[in-house]
Chains A and B, each alone.
Chain A
Amino acid sequence: MNVWIAIGLTTAGCYLVKLLGLSVPAGALERPAVKRLAALLPIALLAALTAQQTFGEGAALVLDARAAGVAAAALALLLRAPFLVVVGAAVLVTAAVRTLTG
């Protein structure tokens, strides 16, 4: 049930912000401060999520094969690889490191 609550809230929230963007007059959200914060908020969230899902094991911090995989993704990004290659590199390297290290 908890999962459905989360799905319902996320669905409603994400849909409403999409609709809001298409519907409000252009000037409404164009204040510089709002725009800057809106640009920086996803950066903070994405950086935090990347770190959490790379090093997190429940509440503990661990260094495991995922770190190698995400490092491979970072390298692929530096080499301007397409999105699918970036994700693929992370998955393959993580799997390879796990296999090698048992």
Chain B
Amino acid sequence: MTETAGTADGHGTQRADGDRTASVPRSDRAVVRDALGVGVAVGLSGFAFGVTSAGAGLTLLQTCALSLLVFTGASQFALVGALASGGNPYTAAAGAFFLGVRNAFYGLRLSELLHVPRALRPFAAQWVIDETAAVALAQSGRRAVRIGFAVTGATLYVLWNLTTLLGALGAAALGDPRAWGLDAAGPAVFLALLAPMLRTATERAVAGLAVVLVLVGMPLLPAGVPVLVAALAAPVVLALRGRVPARGGKGHGR
């Protein structure tokens, strides 16, 4: 949904100094505080999504359906952005889907730690996103991991959907979202997600090439296609670089 995973950079889990030592499980209260901090901060940005989605021409029902059902912010912003720029539903959904693929890798890491009972898996899956992974993976001990995941997930799910609704309702009252600068919310969200990922030269090269590809592609290709073409920057740079050892090994399976 938003950045914060790979929280070595101080985003997301805002923990007080000195209330955590590496091997001692933290108190439940400390975990809950982390989870609420992330949940509230990011949950509120659902407002920007609601306004953006309404501004892109989606109905109230469509906007709320996205937050309830998709519940992974970057994909939601990408989808409404693509639809707003006139993309067809298939390329728009493809872009959103590829962004969502990273959640599979969070799930891999989390499943080892959470040990979700089989019956709960379909429900827990909906909450496997950047923030829940960031908070949960920062804990030590299964109990803390579970509390972190559940509290972050619940807080975010409730707030994100509530603020989406408010944003979509408020969009009409706001008039032109551009006058309020809300058309900058989407790219700012993407940038906030992107920033902590740019640790190595390979990662920066991928980002740079993707920017070039999309800017060159936009005037030339149908709406929605340039972003998918830009995604090719990842395999292209990998192929050119050959086998560069991935550093930043503390990232969460990204």
Q: Which residues of A line the B interface, CB within 8 A?
A: 2-7, 9-11, 13-15, 17-24, 26, 29-30, 33, 35-56, 58-61, 65-66, 69-70, 73-74, 77, 80, 82-84, 86-87, 89-96, 98
Q: Give every chain B residue within 8 A of A50 (Cβ-Cβ).
A: 187, 190-191, 194, 211
Q: Give every chain A residue within 8 A of B101 (Cβ-Cβ).
A: 17, 38, 41-42
Mark the stretch among B25-33, B136-144, B165-173, B199-207 that contacts chain A. B199-207
Known: A18-B104, A22-B111, A26-B108. A11 touches B187 (CB 8 A): no
CA distance A39 to B104 in the complex (A): 11
Q: Is B147 interfacial (CB 8 A cutoff)? A: no
Q: Does A21 lie within 8 Å of B237, measured CB to CB? A: no
CA distance A8 to B238 in the complex (A): 32
B60-90 Cβ-contact flags toward A at 8 Å (1 or 0): 0010011001111011111101010110111
Cβ contact of B178, chosen from A30, A37, A98, cutoff 8 A? A98
Q: Does B79 lie within 8 Å of A98, measured CB to CB? A: no
Q: Does A84 lie within 8 Å of B95, measured CB to CB? A: no
Of the A-B pairs whose beta carbons lie under 8 Å apart in the complex, a sample of 27, sorted by A's number, is: A3-B89, A13-B93, A15-B70, A15-B126, A18-B128, A19-B121, A26-B111, A37-B234, A38-B105, A41-B231, A43-B197, A44-B232, A46-B74, A46-B207, A47-B214, A47-B230, A48-B230, A51-B214, A69-B187, A69-B188, A80-B10, A83-B192, A84-B45, A91-B48, A91-B182, A95-B180, A96-B181
Q: Does A6 lie within 8 Å of B93, measured CB to CB? A: yes
Q: Does A87 lie within 8 Å of B10, measured CB to CB? A: no
Q: Is B16 interfacial (CB 8 A cutoff)? A: no
Cβ contact of B121, chosen from A17, A22, A43, A58, cutoff 8 A? A22
Looking at the assembled complex, report how far the CB atom of A75 sits from the nearest CB atom of chain B, in whole angstroms. 11
Q: Give every chain B residue within 8 A of A14 (Cβ-Cβ).
A: 70-72, 75, 96-97, 100, 103
CA distance A92 to B233 in the complex (A): 32
Looking at the assembled complex, report how far the CB atom of A81 sits from the nearest CB atom of chain B, in whole angstroms. 9
Q: Does A13 lie within 8 Å of B100, measured CB to CB? A: yes
Q: Is B185 interfacial (CB 8 A cutoff)? A: yes
Q: Give every chain B residue within 8 A of A46 (Cβ-Cβ).
A: 74, 99, 190-191, 193-194, 197, 207
Q: Does A6 lie within 8 Å of B181, measured CB to CB? A: no
Q: Give every chain B residue within 8 A of A17 (Cβ-Cβ).
A: 97, 100-101, 103-104, 107
Q: Give every chain A residue within 8 A of B96 (Cβ-Cβ).
A: 6, 10, 13-14
Q: Give every chain A residue within 8 A of B54 (Cβ-Cβ).
A: none
Q: Does B238 lie within 8 Å of A37, measured CB to CB? A: yes
Q: Does A42 lie within 8 Å of B102, measured CB to CB? A: yes
Q: Does B62 lie within 8 Å of A83, measured CB to CB? A: no
Looking at the assembled complex, report how far the CB atom of A3 sits from the nearest CB atom of chain B, in whole angstroms. 6
Q: Does A41 lie within 8 Å of B98, measured CB to CB? A: yes
CA distance A19 to B238 in the complex (A): 27
Q: Does B183 lie within 8 Å of A94, measured CB to CB? A: yes
Q: Give every chain A residue within 8 A of B124 (Cβ-Cβ).
A: 22
